Amino acid sequence: MRVVIEPDYEGMSRKAAAMVADLVRRKPDCVLGLATGSTPIGLYKELIRLSREDGLDFSRVTTFNLDEYHGLAPEHDQCYRYFMEKNLFEGLKTRPKRTSVPDGLARDVDGYCASYEKAIKDSGGIDLQVLGIGGDGHIAFNEPGSSLGSRTRLVVLTEETITDNSRFFASADDVPRFALTMGVATILEARKCLLLASGIKKSKVVREAIEGPVTSQITASALQLHPDTFAFLDEDAADLLELKDYYKHVEKMYGEHGVGRRAAVAATR
């Protein structure tokens, strides 16, 4: 895993956005996997800026979102479809060709989840997946104990996730208890993964995910098995990493020497 540490949230967001933009320029019909939550908002703002000021063209791009609360209609102002419209799609100069967010009102949940997986496969698979990390180490809504072989399915949210996400609702009681989520194995099939984390509150779980054992108790740790994952962190989120200085040294060396695929981040500086 490449660990890219930036001084602050803005720098981290710009660096991650540059990697997404680079893909969209090289492969205009690429498939992006997208996340919601506070963390990727800066990345989405930067993509909107690049679309409006630099002509970054999303018109042939397909997107799939990681997850959605179960039981919320697409118009609900806390559902993830609404979040994506407000924080990315509506702002872009050219809207992506196709955008998919799991349907929180799906009735035949198992059938729907299988069709979401099929739609990802039929699109050619996800080229780049954007991810945040939950306080309990989840990626998407793969809560502790989720099988590392899990696929898209209905899950029960943990109390920690409900409390964390209650900041967006009138009260914790209003947070849905279930969600539809891509599985860990679905995520690991993406060709490239970008894990974003910012703030001191995430530092402990970031260390567990990046430097701890691979475990279903911290599903983000499964990214250690993925051959092309970048973790974009701000200094606060990176605070407890034991090898922090080494990760910085690695990025500096790649930046200075620009070797092969490894030069990708350097090129975006």
Q: Which residues make up the interface to ligand F6R (CB under 6 A)?
A: 35-39, 66-67, 132-134, 138-140
Min separation Cβ 135 and ligand F6R, Å: 7
**Strands lying side by side in the sheet with 31-34:** 2-6, 229-234, 192-197, 128-131, 31-34, 62-65, 98-100
Task: Report CA 187 to chain centroid distance, whole Å.
Answer: 10
Indicate the residue among 190 and 254 with the shorter CB distance to ligand F6R: 190
Of the pair 136, 254, the CB lying nearest ligand F6R is at 136
234 belongs to the catalytic site:
no
Q: Which of 138, 164, 208, 234 is catalytic?
A: 138
The least distance separating ligand F6R from the CB of residue 69, rounded to whole angstroms, comes to 10
User: Among 67, 103, 117, 251, which one carries the catalytic annotation?
Assistant: 67
Q: Which two tokens stand for residue 169?
A: 């609702």
Whether 67 is catalytic: yes
Instruction: Name the residue number minimizing CB distance to ligand F6R.
Output: 132
Burial state string for 153-187 with b = 16 or more CB within 10 A and e = fewer than 16: bbbebbeebbebbeeeeeeeeebbeebbbbbbbbb
What SS3 class is residue 234? strand
Tokens of 82: 């609404």
CB of 62 to ligand F6R, least distance (A): 17
Catalytic residue among 68, 103, 127, 136: 136
Identify which of residues 35 and 254 has a Cβ nearer to ligand F6R in the complex: 35
- Nearest approach in angstroms of CB 192 to ligand F6R is 17
Task: Tell me whether residue 138 is one of the annotated catalytic residues.
Answer: yes
Distance CA(1)–CA(225), nearest Å, equals 9
122 is catalytic: no
Q: Name which of 88 and 133 has its Cβ closer to ligand F6R.
A: 133
Q: Single out the residue of 10, 44, 12 nearest to residue 206, CA to CA.
A: 12
| Catalytic residue list | 67, 136, 138, 143
